[in-house]
Amino acid sequence: MYFAFENPVYLWYLCSIPLLIVTHYAFLKYTRRRAIRFANFQALKRVTDEKVITKNHIILIIRSIIIVCLILAMAGTTLWYKGKSNNNDFVIAIDTSSSMTAQDFKPTRIDAAKEYVNTFIDNLNSEANIGVLTFSGAAFIEHLPSSNKAEIKTAVSNIQAAQVGGTDIAGAVVTGVNMLVGSKKGKLMVLITDGSNTVTFFTKDPIDEAIKYANSNNVMIYTIGMGTNSGPIGYLPEYYNVSSVFDDVTLEKIANNTGGTYYYAGNNQELDATYKDILSNTKEAYIPIPFGSILAISALILIFVEWGLISTRYRSLP
C-alpha cells in the first residue's frame, strides 16, 4: 500500500507552507502594533478577560491544511493497494523469435502459444480490455487494449514468427506497461517466451529498469517460460543439435518483483494448465483509490470553518 501522484510537479507548491507561516506572523505583528494605538486597549483586555490580539495558531493550522489539501488534490494523489478485483485490463505479450518455430510443442511453440492466448481471451471477463503485442529483437503492438474479443483473436491468429533474431523481453515489458498506462482498472500483463533477454544497455540492466517501470505504473506481470532442452531451434535442422533454452531466472525475477507468478510449461498440456491458475490469481491486482475529490471537499469544508472562526472568536478589532 502506498501513495502515488499523477502530477507530482504540483508537490513543489508545498514549499509555500513556510511562506504562509512567515506571512502569518508578520501580519500578526503588524496588527498588534495597530491595536496598541487604542487608548482603551487595557480596558478592553480587562472587560473581555482575553487577549485582544491572539497568535491565532488554530487559524494558521487550518490554513496550512487547506493549502496542503488543495496541492495534493491538484497532484492527483492516489492510494494504491493490493486487493481483490474482478475489474482488470490485460496485455498479452507473445515471443515471436525464430526459436518459437521449434516443434517440441504441437504443431510448433508459436502455434501452441497462439491457441493458448485465444483460450485465455475466451475465459476473460467480457468487460476486460485486452491488448496484444509481439516481440523478438523488438516489441510490436498487434492490437491496442479493447473489449472486442473477436478482433483481438483475429489479431492473435495472424501472428507469425519473426524473421529477425533476438529476444527483447525488457522492451516487451515496457511496451506492455505503456499500453496499460491509461487504464483506471487493475493492470495485468502475461508474458510468454521461450528465450532469454538478448538486448542490453551499456550502463544499466534492462530487466531491472523494466521491472522498475512496471512497478511505477502498478502493472503486475505473469510470466510463462515454454520449451524444453530437447527442442531444436526451429530455423535450424535437428542434426545441428542446438536447442533454445529460456532464462527461467529472469522470468521468475520479473514475476516475483511485480507481484505476479512465474510458470514453466514443457508441453502443450502444461501450457494449457496455466491459464486457469492465472485467471484465478488475477482476481488480485493493484487497486487505485483516488483522493483528489476527497481532498478538494476537505479543503472546501475547512475554508468555511476558517471563515466562521475569523468572523467570531478570532475576529479582528474594527
pLDDT tens, residue by residue, 146-181: 999 999 999 999 999 887 667 899 999 999 999 999
- 116: CB partners within 8 A, 6+ apart: 192, 271, 272, 274, 275
- For the chain, give percent helix, strand, coil, nearest 5: 50, 20, 30
* pLDDT score recorded for residue 97: 87
How far is it, in rounded angstroms, from Cα 18 to Cα 25? 11
Pairing of strands 284-290, 130-135: unpaired
* Chain mean pLDDT for the chain: 81
Better-predicted residue by pLDDT, 228 or 315: 228
The answer to which of 64-73, 129-138, 260-269, 276-285 has the lowest mean pLDDT is: 276-285
* pLDDT score recorded for residue 284: 63
Q: Of 140, 164, 255, whose CA–CA distance to 207 is shortest?
A: 255
Cell numbers found for residue 207 = 530487466
Residue 199: half-sphere exposure toward Cβ, Cα within 13 Å: 18
The answer to which of 31-40, 53-62, 261-270 has the lowest mean pLDDT is: 31-40
* pLDDT score recorded for residue 241: 45
What angle is formed at CA 35 by the lines to CA 34 and CA 37, rounded to 5 degrees?
Answer: 75
Q: What is the mean pLDDT of residues 239-265?
A: 78
Cell numbers found for residue 126 = 467480457
Q: Of 124, 131, 136, 176, whose CA–CA distance to 156 is shortest?
A: 131
Better-predicted residue by pLDDT, 153 or 87: 153
Q: What percent of the chain has pLDDT over 70?
A: 77
Write out the E strands in the chain.
Answer: 2-5, 77-84, 88-95, 130-135, 139-146, 186-193, 219-226, 262-265, 284-290
Tell me the CA distances in angstroms from 31 to 55, 273, 304, one per residue in order.
Answer: 10, 76, 23
Q: What is the mean pLDDT of residues 79-89?
A: 73
CB 267 within 8 A of CB 113: no
**Domains along the chain?**
2-76+291-311 (no CATH), 84-287 (3.40.50.410)
* pLDDT score recorded for residue 103: 83
Task: With cut-offs at 50, 70 and 90, classify the pLDDT of residue 239.
Answer: very low
Better-predicted residue by pLDDT, 181 or 1: 181
* pLDDT score recorded for residue 23: 84
Identify which of 81-95, 203-217, 273-287 has the greatest average pLDDT.
203-217
Q: What percent of the chain has pLDDT over 90?
A: 36
Tell me the CA distances in angstroms from 44 to 51, 53, 56, 76, 312, one per residue in order.
Answer: 9, 11, 18, 48, 16
What angle is formed at CA 52 by the lines to CA 312 and CA 302, rounded to 5 degrees?
Answer: 35
* pLDDT score recorded for residue 52: 45
Q: What is the dihedral of CA 74, 79, 84, 90, to 10 degrees?
A: 50
Q: What is the mean pLDDT of residues 4-25?
A: 85
